[in-house]
Amino acid sequence: MDEFSRIQYWNAKRQEQALKVSLGVKVDIGDDAAVVALPYEVHRDQSQYESLYTVDTMVEDIHFSSETTDFEHIGYKALAANLSDIAAMGGIPLHALIAISIPDHYSADHVMRIYNGIYDCANRYKVAIVGGDTTSSPHSLVLTITVIGMVEQGKAILRSGASVGDIVFVTGVPGQSAAGLHLLQHANTSQYPVALVDSLIRAHQQPEPHLQAGRLLSTSNACHALNDISDGLISELSEIAKASHVDIVIDENQIPLSDSMSQYAGKSGQSMFDWVLYGGEDYILVGTASREQFASIEASFREQQLQLYAVGEVIAGNGEVWMDSWNDGLQLQKRNQIMNRGYNHFT
């Protein structure tokens, strides 16, 4: 058995049997395919469930560089990004498959550390890793993760449901991941307070999927459209606006900011709003909800000590995103159309 096969063999024993049983896993890593009980057999309540499938690829030197991301964090973040897609549907993640293509210059220790990150995230969010494929790669590491989840029948929250009059909200502070990346690439971290450095770097390296928030939104029956912020706030809002055939207006003054990000932007002379609007990889949720029921959604978030910020509203239109800027007297100053310039791999 070569060293990578040994890692796979060891991986099959890394999760508690009780977790696997609770998730219906009958056969995991090591046969042609995984065998799992259907989710409705796991959750024996009255609800009928539908399945959710999502897949995401992280490519070395495109999505991450081993200079700014530890091997553990490559793994953690790759799975977290997939779980975030399940959160953005309002669903519950159940099972994951890991396909990894490993270049020659990676040692078994590097690969083990990537898996450590993947399993940390899987165990934290109670997801069973049930299979995968390990191959060599001529140049770069490529990590593709598939996640299977479930949601109550008809309750998946799509991008296309935003209605005129809806409140637009976010479930956290956008831009911190981009600020953290800038800090890692450009700053002498010893010049900044430890708490600032830690919070921004953590936002970049180890984002948490907002699964609990997604479930609150799905069970509220009042959330009409939802995305997770992988490509930047404006890019995600633009997707919702286009899919829903509406326009979205956000209010500059309502967008939540963090002290760490403001401080770092001020001292480093960077534009904080670039991070906030276009940064990406925050994996917080952004969506629209019924204005009438927004107070009750806010109450449920408060009760579970989760963040929720109203940042704008849905207006009639056909796919555009606008931002209101205000002067000191709080009189309406200007409504500017905001162009989407989120990251695109091919332009």
Q: Do residues 203 and 175 touch, judged by C-beta distance below 8 A?
A: no
**What's at 102, amino acid-wise?**
I
Q: Do residues 94 and 128 touch, judged by C-beta distance below 8 A?
A: yes
Positions in 175-234 near a second copy (CB under 8 A):
226-228
Closer residue to a second copy in complex, CB, 36/265:
36
Q: How far is the CB of 11 from a second copy (least distance, A)?
A: 14
For a second copy (CB under 8 A), the number of binding residues is: 72
Q: Is 149 one of the binding residues for a second copy (CB under 8 A)?
A: yes
Closer residue to a second copy in complex, CB, 199/220:
220
Q: Do residues 286 and 226 touch, judged by C-beta distance below 8 A?
A: yes
Positions in 53-112 near a second copy (CB under 8 A):
53-57, 59-63, 85-86, 88-89, 91, 95, 97-99, 101-102
Q: How far is CA 205 from CA 100, 261, 276, in A?
A: 19, 15, 17
Strands (E) located in 171-257: 223-228, 247-251
CA 306, CA 171: separation in Å to the nearest integer?
A: 8
Closer residue to a second copy in complex, CB, 159/204:
159
Closer residue to a second copy in complex, CB, 81/261:
81
Q: How far is the CB of 48 from a second copy (least distance, A)?
A: 8
Positions in 328-347 near a second copy (CB under 8 A):
344-347
CA 90, CA 144: separation in Å to the nearest integer?
A: 22
Place of tokens 């309750």: 155
Among 65, 135, 221, 271, binds a second copy (CB under 8 A): 135
Q: Is 114 one of the binding residues for a second copy (CB under 8 A)?
A: no
Q: Is 36 one of the binding residues for a second copy (CB under 8 A)?
A: yes
CA 37, CA 51: separation in Å to the nearest integer?
A: 12
Positions in 225-254 near a second copy (CB under 8 A):
226-228, 243
Closer residue to a second copy in complex, CB, 129/314:
129
Quick check: helix, strand or coil at residue 9? helix
Q: How far is the CB of 301 from a second copy (least distance, A)?
A: 20
Packing angle between helix 71-87 and helix 108-124, nearest 10 degrees? 30
Among 18, 33, 194, 316, binds a second copy (CB under 8 A): 33
Q: How far is the CB of 303 from a second copy (least distance, A)?
A: 26
Task: For residue 17, report the phi and psi dihedrals to the nearest 5 degrees.
Answer: -60, -40
